[in-house]
Amino acid sequence: MLTKLSQLRDLIDKDHKPKKLILAASEDAHSLNAVISAAEQNIIRAILVGDKEKTSGMAEILNLDISKYEFVEANNSVEAVTTSVKMMHDGRADVLMKGKVGTSDMLSCVLNKDYGMRSGNLLSHFAYFEVETYHKLIAVTDVAMNIAPNLKEKIAILNNAVKVLNNLGIEMPKVAVLGAVEKVNTEMEATLDAALLSKMNQRDQILNCIVDGPLAFDNAISVESAKHKQIKSDVAGDTDLLLMPDIEVGNVLYKSLVFFARAKVASMIVGASAPIVLTSRSDSEQAKFDSILLAAVAADNHKKS
């Protein structure tokens, strides 16, 4: 059972060759520090794309030697992202990482039909949390890409996340599909979708996991709360993955866990032609480093599948 994000390190392939990671718009202090630290620990090989003058100035202040890493010049963040995504499209690296550029700008470029990183699947965001008050790591999806997913999109988001968890060694992750309440309410669409997803799982239309829902947040993560409400569930209180109804709920939960609960987090975009590290500007350097670790493990598995 995974209880700490640092355990991701043990999951790196024994014959792991450091994966090539492109940092798009490299003039971002936290990202640069995390990338160089991961490169120095042989987790990745770094390629920096961005404004050379600003990046070098930042490296000097941070006391980092970036002279040994490949550098591709770009005049602005849009050019940096476009160049980076095109390099990924051409198979020049295994992982893409967002530097000093807006999330939507980065994602729109990734979705470009001609030179993007589409794979035919829905792309979605996967976040993995270490929360002191929970007995194991817990995944949350989708808090950053799909704004208001319909049922079909929720199936794809769920399958993307289950694939990540299966690859991390969790054979049958327990999935709680969240609503505001644990009973189906015909006026609350999230509860209807949750019930359908549970039934599809029972009928083997969604595989390699145990799905239950609707569950409210408290009974998804607390055995006492589930008992109190007399909920019979194989998932309640022992959830590995929380499926969010939409981006607003997901994003508020993400930030509440980080800012109120001081949780640690690693996150990435999955479902594309390669994993994409897409932490937000407010994420810590540790979160960026752990996300690189998560993406490196995912890239090892990507190569095998």
226-285 binders of ligand COD (CB under 6 A): 251, 280
> Which residue's entry shows tokens 């849009």?
78
**Cβ proximity to ligand COD, 28 vs 212, nearer residue:** 28
Please identify, using beta-carbon distances, which residue of 198 and 279 lies nearer to ligand COD: 279
Asked whether position 119 contacts ligand COD by CB under 6 A, the answer is: no
The correct pick among 47, 144, 209, 276 for binding ligand COD (CB under 6 A) is 144
- Write down the least CB distance from residue 219 to ligand COD, Å: 27
Residue 86 CB, nearest approach to ligand COD (Å): 17
Residues found in the chain: 305
| Residues touching ligand COD, count (CB under 6 A) | 13
Of 12-20, 145-153, 178-186, 295-303, which segment contacts ligand COD by CB under 6 A? Answer: 145-153
Choose one: 66-74, 93-101, 140-148, 182-190; the region binding ligand COD (CB under 6 A): 140-148
- Which CB, 83 or 146, lies closer to ligand COD? 146
* Closest listed residue to residue 132, CA positions, set 223, 265, 286, 34: 265
Q: Which of 3, 4, 17, 147 binds ligand COD (CB under 6 A)?
A: 147
Determine which residue in the list 48, 58, 97, 123 makes contact with ligand COD, applying CB under 6 A. 123
Among residues 122 and 209, whose Cβ is nearest to ligand COD? 122
Rounded to a whole number of angstroms, the minimum distance from the CB of residue 112 to ligand COD is 9
Stretch near ligand COD under the rule CB under 6 A, chosen from 13-21, 52-60, 127-135, 138-146: 138-146
Q: Can residue 103 be called a binding residue for ligand COD (CB under 6 A)?
A: yes
Q: Calculate ∠ Cα 292-250-80, nearest 5°.
A: 40
Nearer to ligand COD, 179 or 271 (CB): 271
Window of 62-70, 80-88, 105-113, 203-211 that interacts with ligand COD by CB under 6 A: 105-113
In SS3 terms, the chain reads as CCCCHHHHHHHCCCCCCCEEEEEECCCCHHHHHHHHHHHHCCCEEEEEEECHHHHHHHHHHHCCCCCCCEEEECCCHHHHHHHHHHHHHCCCCCEEEECCCCHHHHHHHHCCCCCCCCCCCCCEEEEEEECCCCCCCEEEECCCCCCCCCHHHHHHHHHHHHHHHHHCCCCCCEEEEECCCCCCCCCCHHHHHHHHHHHHHHCCCCCCCEEEEEECHHHHHCHHHHHHCCCCCCCCCCCCEEECCCHHHHHHHHHHHHHCCCCEEEEEEECCCCCEECCCCCCCHHHHHHHHHHHHHHHHHHHHC
Query: Is residue 184 involved in binding ligand COD (CB under 6 A)?
Result: no
Would you say 13 or 153 has its CB closer to ligand COD? 153
Gap between the Cα atoms of 187 and 207, Å rounded = 28
Cβ neighbours around 234 below 10 Å, total = 11
Q: How far is the CB of 11 from ligand COD (least distance, A)?
A: 26
Q: Which parts of this chain interact with ligand COD (CB under 6 A)?
A: 103-104, 107-108, 111, 122-123, 144-147, 251, 280
